Amino acid sequence: MQNTKIYDITIVGGGIVGVATAYKIQIKHPSLKILIIEKEQKLAAHQTGNNSGVIHSGLYYKPGSAKAKTCVDGRKQLVQFAKEYSIKHDVCGKVVVAVEEKELPFMDKIFQNGLDNNTEGIEKITADQVKEIEPYVKSIGGIWVPCTGIIDYKSVTNKLAELVIQKQPESKIVLGEEVLEYEQGQENTEVITSKNKYITKYMVFCGGLQADRLAKKDNVELKEKIVSFRGDYYDLTEQAKHKVKNLVYPVPNPDFPFLGVHFTRMIDGGIECGPNAVFTFKREGYRKTDFNIKDTVDALTYKGTWKLFFNNFGFAANEYRRAFSKKLFLKTLQRLIPDLTMDDIKPGGVGVRAMLLSENGDTRDDFRIEYKDKSIHVLNAPSPAATACLAIGDAICDMAEKQFNLAKL
C-alpha cells in the first residue's frame, strides 16, 4: 500500500536512541513530519528493553570521547526528563570495588577518568566504607559513584514517542513493519517495508543489531560488522535481596571488552546479577539454543570474529561455561559477595547487545554516527547509549540541521 503523505524525516528503529532522536528533532522543528518505523510490535523491544536499567555515570569512558561527553550530558538530561514526566527512577549511587591488589592500578585509572569526565561526587573509599554502603560486599577498597542511578528505559522511550505525536499530530509511529528496501530518487526516497511503502525526504537509521546491514543497503562503505553477544542474568531470591542495597560493580578487566558481572537493584525492587557475555548464533537470539543460518554465516565468515575469539579465548571459554552452569555463575558472584548460596539466585532476564567489531577483533570502538547523501546512520551505539540517548539525539539533530538543511523544510 502506497502512502501519499511525504514525511520530512523517517527514522528506522524504535529503540531509545531512535525515539530520542525523533523527539529532539521534533521539539526543535515542530512543523516537521517525522515517521518512526519499528519492525517489532512495540517500541524498545531489543537492547533498550532488555538492559539492566542503569543510569551510567561516565566513569569508564576515555576522556574526550563521544561516549564520555554524551554520557555525562545525557545522564543529566535523562534525570531531568524523568523528574519532569514522573518516570520511575532513583539516583541511588553505586560502588565499584576491588577484590585483589592487581586491580588497584586500573581502579585508579577509571577514577581519574571520572574526574576528567566531570563525574560529580566520586570518591575513593576504603573497604570499611564499602561495608557501610553495602554490608555484604567483601573488598579491599573501591569508588563511590553517587550520580549513578536506575530507571525504566521502556517508560522513557514510550514517553518520548508520546511527546513526538503530541508536538506534531502529523508525525507517525509504525509498529510491526520491517524496512526491506529504500530507493532514493532525485527529490524523495521511497521506503519499502514488509507491509507498506512510504515517501520521505531524509532518513535516520538507528537499527542497533541490524545497523551494519541497513548501512550496506544504503551503500555505506563499512569494513566492520555488527556481532551480537547475549547476556544472561540471575535474580536474587526474596531471601537474599537484603544482601544488595543498590548497585555493586567490580573493577572491570581492561583486557576484556565488557564491565563484568555486577549487581543491580532494579526499579521494581528486584536485584539482578550479571550479565555474562557470550557470542550468539542469532543476532536477536535471547535463548541459549537460538540459531539463524544467515547470522551465523555472516559472523563466522568475518575475520574480526575469529580475531576476537583468539584474542579473548580464555575469557570466552569461561563465559560459555558460566552460561550453562549456575554453580560457576555463582562462583563469580561470590567474588564480591562471598556468602551468596545456590538458593540465593534464580534464572533472570536475558539481553542481547550489538557491538561493531573491527577487522582486528576490537569491540571498543566509540559511538559512531555517519552521514551519507540523504541519510544519517548510527553505526555503533552500545552502552551507555540508553543513558546518553538525549545527548545522542542532540548530536544527530545538529547533524541533520547541517546536512539536511532542516530550516528550509
pLDDT, one tens digit per residue, over 143-153 is 999 999 999 99
Which tens digits make up the pLDDT trace of 217-276?
Answer: 999 989 999 989 898 999 999 999 999 999 999 998 877 666 678 999 999 999 999 888
- State the pLDDT at residue 257: 61
- What is the DSSP-derived secondary structure letter of residue 255? T
Nearest Cα neighbor of 280 from 385, 356, 354, 365 is 354
Residues 212 and 302: their CA atoms lie apart, in Å, by 13
- State the pLDDT at residue 253: 81
Residues 237 and 249: their CA atoms lie apart, in Å, by 19
Residues 334 and 351: their CA atoms lie apart, in Å, by 22
Does the structure show a pLDDT above 70 at 169?
yes
Name residues whose C-beta falls within 8 Å of residue 359's C-beta, 6 or more positions apart in sequence. Answer: 223, 224, 303, 304, 307
- What is the DSSP-derived secondary structure letter of residue 229? E
In which region does residue 149 sit, left (phi positive, over 0), alpha (psi from -120 to 50) or beta (all else)? beta
Q: What percent of the chain has pLDDT over 70?
A: 98
- How is residue 126 written as a grid cell? 576504603
Peptide bond into 169 cis (omega under 30): no
Q: How far apart, in Å, do the first and last CA atoms of the chain sit?
A: 26
- State the pLDDT at residue 252: 87
Residues composing the chain: 409
Alpha carbon 261 to its chain's center? 16
Q: Residue 381 CB: number of other CB atoms within 10 A?
A: 29
Does the structure show a pLDDT above 80 at 4?
no
Does the structure show a pLDDT above 60 at 1?
no
Where in the chain is CATH 3.30.9? 225-362
- State the pLDDT at residue 3: 64
- State the pLDDT at residue 131: 97
- State the pLDDT at residue 96: 97
Where in the chain is CATH 3.50.50.60? 2-48+154-224+366-408
How many CA atoms lie less than 13 Å away from 250 in the CB half-sphere? 23
Query: What is 225-362's CATH number?
Result: 3.30.9
| Mean per-residue pLDDT of the chain | 93
The CATH architecture that domain 2-48+154-224+366-408 belongs to is 3-Layer(bba) Sandwich (3.50)
Residues 173 and 378: their CA atoms lie apart, in Å, by 19
The label of the residue with cell 520521505 reads 200
357 neighbors 25 (Cβ within 8 angstroms): no
Is pTM beyond 0.85? Reply is: yes
Alpha carbon 94 to its chain's center? 19
Residues 274 and 243: their CA atoms lie apart, in Å, by 15
- What is the DSSP-derived secondary structure letter of residue 194? S
Residues 16 and 388: their CA atoms lie apart, in Å, by 10
Which tens digits make up the pLDDT trace of 76-118?
Answer: 999 999 999 999 999 999 999 999 999 999 999 999 999 999 9
Helices (H), 241-333: 293-300, 303-311, 313-323, 326-333
Coil, strand or helix at 273: strand
Which tens digits make up the pLDDT trace of 287-339?
Answer: 989 999 999 999 999 999 999 888 877 777 777 777 788 999 999 999 999 99
13 neighbors 208 (Cβ within 8 angstroms): yes
